[in-house]
Amino acid sequence: MSEPSLAIRKFSDLANPTRFLALVAIVWPWLAALTVCLFAVGLYLSFASVDDYQQGQTVRIMYVHVPAAWLSMMCYTVMALSALGTLVWRHPLADVSAKAAAPLGAGFTLVALITGSLWGKPMWGTWWVWDARLTSVFVLFLMYLGLIALNRAMDDPTRAAKASAILILVGFVNIPIIKFSVEWWNTLHQPASVMRMDGPTIDPAFLWPLLIMAVAFTMLFFTLHILAMRNEILRRRIAVLRRHAARSAGEAA
């Protein structure tokens, strides 16, 4: 009996914004340091690695492109989980988490898009193809921007959180459909000669830098995420304090 209740208490401890802030204060320097170390190793490896016999040194773009693309999806998953937290458990920190993640997701998706087209130009001879993958990522980018716009349009943070939680979940079930439909569309419209990224298996020489870079990017995301959450918590705390200040001023008068 004691164990689950302990677990629940742990969870709700973490859930308390004040505790969370304390936790962030302890954790974030370590996370940041880890991120920097991983990036140092990952960047070194990615520039020290041999050139691909087919793609030349453009293969190095992969080391930023693939992790960014991975993050763009992981970030949306984090937001979908937070949205569940908002709607099902009505957890205040879940609101904060979803709101803080949106700009980060948009940022990493943008990186994935830019590096993707920079990779595409030398490889395919064009900046952009309406490939299923690229198009889906572009749609994802639009959805991040839509979510940010929605959050900015609402002044009450609790209601904004609920509205965006619903939108996030609707988007979450829709993204696979969008992906599938774009793939279908692609087979109709595109000559089959366009290069596929998932062709041959990756050589271990490329795998290691890629993995380390992916972990580094993920750590970067979590560092930024908890810091952005901290900012958001402070923002709400300030809003509450200001309202109290206004109210007590009214009482004094």
Partner 1 sequence: MSHAFYVTASYIAAFAVVFGLVLWVWLDHRARHRELARLEAAGIRRRSARQENAG
Partner 2 sequence: MRLVAEGLSARRGEDLIFRDISFEIAGGEALIVTGANGSGKSTLLRVLAGLLAAEAGTARLLAAAQPVERLAEAAHYLGHRNAMKRELTVDENLTFWKAFLGDFAGGAGLSVDEAADRVGLGGIVHLPFGTLSAGQQRRMAMAKLLVAWRPVWILDEPTAALDVAAESMFAGLVTAHLSRGGIAIAATHQPLGLDGVRELRMTGFTGVAETVW
Partner 3 sequence: MIALLARDLKLSMRAGGGALIGVLFFMTVVAVIPFGVGPDLNLLARIGPAILWIGALLASLLGLDRLFQAEREDGSLDLLLMQETPLVLTVFIKCLAHWLATGLPLVIASPLLGLFMNMDEVAIGATTLTLLVGTPAITFIGAAGAGIAVALPRGGLLVSILVLPLAIPVLIFGVSAVYAAIQDPAPFLPPFLILVALNLFFAVIGPVAAAAALRLSSD
Region binding partner 2 by CB under 8 A among candidate stretches 45-53, 101-109, 126-134, 233-241: 233-241
Site for partner 2 contains 237 (CB under 8 A): yes
Question: Which of partner 1, partner 3, partner 2, none does residue 143 bind to, with CB < 5 to 8 Å depending on kind?
Answer: partner 3
- Pair 101, 79: CB distance under 8 Å: yes
Contact pick of 42, 67, 85, 92 for partner 2 (by CB under 8 A): 92
Give the nearer residue to partner 1 in terms of CB position, either 39 or 208. 39
Burial of 134 (0-12, 13-18, 19+ CB in 10 A): buried
> What are the DSSP calls for 70-91, one per residue?
HHHHHHHHHHHHHHHHHHHS--
Among 26, 156, 198, 252, binds partner 2 (CB under 8 A): 156
As measured in angstroms, the least distance from the Cβ of 24 to partner 2 is 14
Q: Which is nearer to partner 1, 42 or 85 (CB)?
A: 42
**C-beta of residue 12 within 8 angstroms of C-beta of residue 215:** no
Q: Which of 158, 187, 190, 231 binds partner 2 (CB under 8 A)?
A: 158
- CA 141 → CA 25, 39, 248, distances in Å? 31, 25, 44
CB contact at 8 A, 109 and 72: yes
Cα 253 to Cα 55, 141, 247, 250: the distances in Å are 74, 50, 10, 5
Which is nearer to partner 1, 127 or 180 (by Cβ)?
Answer: 127
Interacting residue ranges for partner 2, rule: CB under 8 A: 16-17, 92, 156, 158-159, 233, 236-237, 239-240, 243-244, 247-248, 251
